[in-house]
Structure 1
């Protein structure tokens, strides 16, 4: 296991300390969240009773394979904790998420949770969001018009950059679990994430965007010297 993967697993292990029997858990998507699901499965095998609500079909498949009991938000509309990763973590614990394409389900699950714990290696903490392209999930109707709307919203928030339709490694267009497309916005810097989030949400055809504002309760960052927990009040 690489040093980065070791740090991710360390952050996941620390998040697991917050899990108690009987909890309903949102299970995130991505390489860091994968470590949490694996460690959670070990605790389940030892007798811990929890129910997980996965944020993607990828996470669902992993959890089922490892024996983690699963449910849906229809069955459990109020969750205790969601544990998920992030592509960037900025001031006030504002996040950029969606590198794995699961941003819509991730945001719904996080919003249904009493607490969202973000786990990441220390490199994900930044002073200004935007170096990682912002994923924007859109419908497949009127894509050119939606692009224009996104560009106008971004300009109003002081952001400029190229919008790229996400494709898979084989060149085919990437389609989310909900059947939508993703435009990745290379803004470089997002001076006011909350303003951009509000403006993007008003663009017809935008299903969701990867700015997670006021959702993360705390972040566990793991680095070479160990793991550090940052609460929203401290960020």
Structure 2
């Protein structure tokens, strides 16, 4: 079945399959949101069914919660778990310091809360997500609906003093209506092209009234697992300063592919 997957899906699956090796019996695990994270949830579900793995999963979105339950993973809230052993999630971009842009799927607020409530954050990605400097992917900023146009204007005014190449902003839509996050907020996407100082930008954006959170994850990610379409994976540990290589076998995971639509 895996032969029917695109190279990019194979790369995402390879990264997810390697990343779940960080999960041990009895752990409390943050479950990320997005296409790559969905592979991780499927891999964990297989471990629950086939190996008897017992974990408590804290999802970062309603759609991840639905998938986790479908895969047989026990789902609890962060308040119930209180603290997590590890969070595994995807990223829209990551740089050499493992700083991230996240929020392409609209779940950045819950993703950041869960990731920072974890002993370790593991990011799974394909090689195309690595960049020399963040910013090619639009930076999501979650804002409250009340006065959102004023908040957007303040963001644009703030960007004038930032080290960025672009300053265009757009309200994310779902059809003809504003996209709503799980917390019923809006998302304004910042088309910056290049972010010269991600740490400064993250701090400044969160000082703007109406801004709930931004998609810059600074000093949060501990490990990135980069998958390739042929099953090769590279594991970078920012704390240990190590880079390791591994090979994922697609053939032993037929159950994951059989329930794909």
The alignment's TM-score, normalised by the length of structure 1, stands at 0.97
Of the three residues 54, 58, 79, the one matched with 1:53 is: 58
The one-character-per-residue Cα deviations of 1:143-172 (angstroms, maximum 9, x if unpaired) are 22211221232222222321100012x222
The one-character-per-residue Cα deviations of 1:13-49 (angstroms, maximum 9, x if unpaired) are 1111111000000000000000000010011112101
> Where do 1:26-41 residues align within 5 Å?
26-41=30-45
The one-character-per-residue Cα deviations of 1:103-124 (angstroms, maximum 9, x if unpaired) are 0000000000000000000000
> Where do 1:68-217 residues align within 5 Å?
68-159=73-164, 160-168=166-174, 170-217=175-222
Aligned to 2:233: 227
Q: Which runs of 5 or more residues in structure 1 are unaligned? A: none
1-side partners of 2:27 and 2:158: how far apart?
Answer: 39
Aligned to 2:27: 23
* Structure 2 CA distance for partners of 1:224 and 1:64, relative to 1, 3 Å: closer
Aligned to 2:247: none
Of the three residues 40, 44, 47, the one matched with 1:43 is: 47
Aligned to 2:15: 11
How many correspondences in the alignment? 234
Q: Which runs of 5 or more residues in structure 2 are unaligned? A: 243-261
Q: For structure 1, which segment, 99-108 or 146-155, has the greater mean C-alpha deviation from structure 2 after superposition?
A: 146-155
Of the three residues 61, 68, 71, the one matched with 1:66 is: 71
2-side partners of 1:91 and 1:220: how far apart?
Answer: 13
Secondary structure of the residue aligned to 1:204 is coil
Question: Root-mean-square deviation (CA), in Å?
Answer: 1.2
2-side partners of 1:134 and 1:191: how far apart?
Answer: 13
Secondary structure of the residue aligned to 1:203 is coil
2-side partners of 1:144 and 1:181: how far apart?
Answer: 11
- Who wins on radius of gyration, i.e. which is larger? 2
The alignment's TM-score, normalised by the length of structure 2, stands at 0.87
